Amino acid sequence: MHVVLNRSNDLLEQLVRDALADIFGDGATLTVSSKAPAGADLVIWDFQPGDSAALSGNEFVSKSLTLFVASESDLWELESAVGQPVTNVILKPVEAAALSAFLQAASSAQARQGRPWASTLDSLRAQRDDLLRALMQANVRLQEFGRDRTIFLTRAVHDFQAPLSALTGYCGLLLSGRLGPVSEQQREVLGRMRQSAVHLSELTEGMLDVSAGLRAEFAPAVEEVDLRECVQKALDRARPVIEEKSLDISIDLAAPAGPVRIDASRLGQVCCTLVENACRFSPRGGYLEIAGYPVRADYRTGFSAAARQSGEPEPPNCYRLDFRDAGPEIRWPPMADIFEEHISVSPGYDRAGAGLGLATCRMIIAQHGGDIWAENSESGAVFSFVLPFAAGKAIHAGSQAAYA
């Protein structure tokens, strides 16, 4: 197989040579030339802005199978030069796997030329190669889209933070009384405004965190925290809704059997999301029960309620918090999907309508080696999470049944 690279590019040239050697051994040659040598089977065109004139009506391209290598920003110019949508393209930076997949497909296409009697096996292989190439192309595109989304969200969060910080500061300045006396009613309104601004700031940061996901390295600033204080702060934030709906609040937190070490601000974010969710979906006159207790988790099989209740001698190694409300049961989406970032919610079953809140909670708990889940009870829903006493010791994220 004779492959031609249209311009000198040391990195791309080396990638092509390595791929040809892996696939064909000594049965392929590579030539770097802007003109078509006799017998070229495949052209790899390293597209650059300004190549439109060279491509237009070029026999070098029209007579040979062509693979275009182009930057995402140059795709429109490339398609304009070719005169039709281009599917045989690899985005820069070129990945070796995508290049190898295309070369294998090109080899199969070349082998079939002039053989109208090609066997069914050849046809199946060709279809396989085409599918593989399409998958590799889609993978490259998805990486590009993911990168662009993260960049966009980073810029958006940065733009949001300045006015939100100013709003929070001005509310605090008015509450301090330095700009004049403030009545109790005005103080209450200003307090809610500042609280909402802080909440919106956390939501914007959560958007970025969830978008970055596992691509971002995260080292929690762990410290020993007072779980009761974190829960109380979450309830204080939701106080307006609690009073408006006349919700009955019950808190029963047993003392931990060991120090719970976690990023305090992140734990507060999780508690606030779960409390606000429960308050939102609880009916007027309903209730919110928050229970916490040390439990034993097997790091291979997950948490077992039976082990805790049987009084086995092994000491607890993590702490569990349950948030139980009187709201509607979780009917859609399925339990396993309720913490997903992207989930379609059917009208009328908006129990998962916390936006990115639950996805952020799952990410935070996972970053601290814990696990979070949801289940229905006889009179509502229960959201629970466990955190290990030993920071960084991951709890097995088993099936939801393991936590029943």
DSSP 3-state of 263 = coil
Q: Tell whether 179 and 254 lie within a shared domain.
A: no
Instruction: State the total domains in the chain.
Output: 3
Q: Tell whether 273 and 384 lie within a shared domain.
A: yes
Give domain status of residue 256, yes or no.
yes
pLDDT in tens, 94-110: 878 778 877 877 776 65
Query: Residue 310: what pLDDT?
Result: 42
Give domain status of residue 25, yes or no.
yes
Q: 100: which 2 tokens?
A: 């190898």
Q: Who wins on pLDDT, 313 or 198?
A: 198
Give domain status of residue 133, yes or no.
no
Range among 199-203, 266-270, 321-325, 363-367 with highest mean pLDDT value: 321-325
Which residues lie across from 318 on neighbouring strands? Answer: 295, 388
Host domain of residue 200 = 159-215
Strand (E) positions, 198-330?
Answer: 223-224, 248-253, 261-262, 287-295, 297-298, 302-303, 318-325
Q: Tell whether 169 and 290 lie within a shared domain.
A: no
Give domain status of residue 387, yes or no.
yes
Q: Tell whether 191 and 292 lie within a shared domain.
A: no
Does 398 score more than 50 pLDDT?
no
- Helix residue spans in 28-95 (DSSP H): 52-55, 59-62, 75-82
pLDDT in tens, 253-272: 998 877 777 888 888 889 98
CA distances for 286 relative to 58, 246, 327, 333, angstroms: 75, 7, 8, 24
Give domain status of residue 145, yes or no.
no
Average pLDDT over residues 66-78: 83
Q: Tell whether 187 and 240 lie within a shared domain.
A: no
Give domain status of residue 101, yes or no.
yes
Q: 379: which 2 tokens?
A: 């009179």
Q: Tell whether 38 and 11 lie within a shared domain.
A: yes
Q: Tell whether 318 and 267 lie within a shared domain.
A: yes
- Within 10 angstroms of residue 141's Cβ, the number of other Cβ atoms is 12
User: pLDDT tier at 132 (50, 70, 90 boundaries)?
Assistant: confident
User: pLDDT tier at 322 (50, 70, 90 boundaries)?
Assistant: very high
Q: Who wins on pLDDT, 220 or 283?
A: 283
Q: Exposure pattern of 245-268 as b/e (b: 16+ CB <10 Å)?
A: bebeeeeebeebbeebbbbbebbb
Q: Tell whether 272 and 378 lie within a shared domain.
A: yes
Contacts of 158-162 spanning 24+ positions with Cβ under 8 A: 160/200, 160/201, 160/204, 161/201, 161/204
Domain with residue 254: its CATH number is: 3.30.565.10
Query: Residue 324: what pLDDT?
Result: 93
Q: What is the mean pLDDT of the chain?
A: 75
Category of 391 on φ-ψ map: left (φ > 0), alpha (ψ -120 to 50) or beta:
beta
Give domain status of residue 137, yes or no.
no
Of the residues 88, 118, 148, the one at which a domain ends: 118
Of the residues 180, 215, 250, the one at which a domain ends: 215
Lowest mean pLDDT across 189-193, 210-214, 314-318, 381-385 = 210-214
Give domain status of residue 136, yes or no.
no
Q: Tell whether 343 and 207 lie within a shared domain.
A: no
pLDDT in tens, 350-372: 454 445 678 888 888 888 888 88
Q: Tell whether 228 and 204 lie within a shared domain.
A: no
Of the residues 67, 93, 118, the one at which a domain ends: 118
Domain with residue 44: its CATH number is: 3.40.50.2300
Which DSSP string do the residues of 334-382 spell out, in sequence order?
-GGGTT-SS----TT-GGG--TTHHHHHHHHHHHTT-EEEEEE-SSSEE
CB-based contact 190:175 (threshold 8 Å): yes
Q: Tell whether 109 and 244 lie within a shared domain.
A: no
Q: Tell whether 228 and 358 lie within a shared domain.
A: yes
Cβ neighbours of residue 264 closer than 8 Å, sequence gap 6 or more = 223, 225, 230
What is the spatial distance between Cα 17 and Cα 43, in angstroms, rounded to a whole number? 14
